[in-house]
Amino acid sequence: MKNFKVILFVLFIAVAAVGLNSCNKNDAVSESEPTNTTFTDYANIVTSFASDFDDELISGEVSDLKSASLTTCFNVKVDKNADGAFYTRVWTVDYLGGTCTLFSGNIKVGKIHVSLSDFWKNEGSLKTVTFEDYYFNGNKMEGVKTILNTGLNEKGDLTFTKTVSDASLTYPDGSFISWECKKYSELIAGGSTIVFADDVWSVTGSGTGVNLDSKKYTLTITSPLIYKNGCFYPVSGVVEINTEGVDKQTIDYGNGECDNIVTITVGGVSQEVKL
């Protein structure tokens, strides 16, 4: 797996990476009115749709774009174009045996379908991701992700625009939370090398949806989320959550440490939480 490029656009969404499993739902801080939705539910949907490990597996190098059984956990099947052209490239990540636990600890079931119009580093390259009977940590995911290469910015850094549309995360009890977002990713370090370990991404953007209480909410990255390759969560950055009838919530990812500690603030009261 070390030979595969993991494009950590991750997130918009900023909280994206709060990455909590649905079984870890907890009310870290009191809210202004009774609610079935906790900050972990927002983190769940953001993290689910920000997780690009699988659909990025074979998009890094031309030589990697071939059908292969990468582990006993899942395999990748790449479709061949009738005209023999390499792009547009279409592939499917299929989790074998029904359940797959990756090194990140996330459990995945089902299939991810990916279409890539051109080599991911080329400006204008567009990737589209859809799901088939797909479950992330026991919760069903539906929706469409797109990732567009928007070229180099004025600093010479590679940039991408990522959207998530018609998305939802359905829990085993049938309750669900919806999600739409648009985020912007910039490769701020590591772009000039051929290794992945030194890649650092800065992510901004926002999203909206309807929570478990049928209330509209908005998630906004108020301070860029910084992702370092090898760290499952952002190492810094702030996300603001605004929900109808609930005090504003913020999630602060810290000052650069590669850990799972965040600070949650609601109504002026802060609490340190381990994800």
- Residues 120-168: tens digit of each pLDDT: 889 999 999 999 999 988 999 999 999 999 999 999 999 999 999 999 9
Which amino acid appears at position 159 of this protein? T
The whole-number pLDDT of residue 103 equals: 66
Instruction: Report whether 252 contacts 263 (CB < 8 A).
Output: yes
The whole-number pLDDT of residue 51 equals: 64
- Going by C-alpha positions, the residue among 207, 188, 201, 191 that lies closest to residue 48 is 207
The whole-number pLDDT of residue 72 equals: 64
Instruction: Report whether 247 contacts 266 (CB < 8 A).
Output: yes
Ranges of the chain whose pLDDT falls below 70: 1-34, 51-72, 97-98, 103-104
The whole-number pLDDT of residue 71 equals: 54
Instruction: Report whether 144 contacts 128 (CB < 8 A).
Output: yes
Q: What are phi and psi of 152, to 5 degrees?
A: -90, 140
Instruction: Report whether 67 contacts 79 (CB < 8 A).
Output: no
d(CA 22, CA 48): 11
